[in-house]
């Protein structure tokens, strides 16, 4: 799952992300979601967040992102809420706004395989892929490029 998400993770850190250490961001995500750290190194953490569900946090230097992945044909409503909780913990963007952006991007990705929706100073990008093991849905919260 980590290698699939790597395509979604290239961005410059937002000021909110840059102010916190990776350890602090990991703690925030754990506290907000109840997810358990399954893998961790200096600039990355993967969290177990329920059946077939994982969260990822990349905080390498000036590159940061938070993502959620789920395996299965049906994506439960709790997926968007989990994504919004993790995103809010890292960025401070309102959970309702992130939940709606994730829902829109996910629905777009179901039709087009990939979709992006802006959410304040960030961008939610989702991809839906068919694998041998079934459907994989993944969304990431990235800083929106400055224009």
63-121: per-residue pLDDT in tens? Answer: 578 999 999 988 998 999 999 999 999 999 999 999 999 999 999 998 898 999 999 88
Q: Give residues with Cβ within 8 angstroms of 5, minimum separation 6.
A: 56, 67, 69, 138, 140
User: What number of other Cβ atoms are within 10 A of residue 41's Cβ?
Assistant: 9
Q: What is the pLDDT of residues 4-63, one digit of tens each?
A: 333 333 333 344 545 688 999 999 999 999 999 999 998 999 999 999 999 999 987 665
What is the model's pTM? 0.83
Number of structural domains found in the chain:
1
Q: What is the mean pLDDT of the chain?
A: 84
Element (H, E) at 5: helix 2-5
CA atoms within 13 A on the CB side of 79: 28
Structure tokens at 117: 């929706």
The per-residue pLDDT for 68 is 97
Domain that holds residue 48: 2-143
């Amino acid at each position: 799952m980590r290698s699939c998400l790597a395509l979604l993770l290239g961005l410059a850190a937002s000021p909110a992300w840059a102010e916190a250490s990776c350890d602090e961001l990991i703690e925030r995500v754990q506290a907000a979601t109840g997810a358990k750290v399954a893998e961790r190194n200096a600039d990355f953490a993967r969290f177990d967040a329920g059946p077939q569900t994982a969260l990822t946090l990349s905080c390498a230097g000036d590159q940061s992102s938070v993502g959620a992945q789920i395996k299965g044909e049906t994506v439960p409503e709790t997926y968007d809420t989990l994504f919004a909780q993790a995103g809010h913990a890292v960025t401070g963007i309102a959970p309702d706004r992130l939940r709606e952006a994730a829902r829109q991007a996910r629905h777009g990705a179901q039709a087009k395989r990939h979709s992006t929706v802006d959410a304040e100073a960030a961008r939610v990008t989702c991809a839906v892929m068919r694998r041998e093991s079934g459907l994989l849905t993944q969304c990431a919260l990235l800083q929106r490029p400055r224009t």
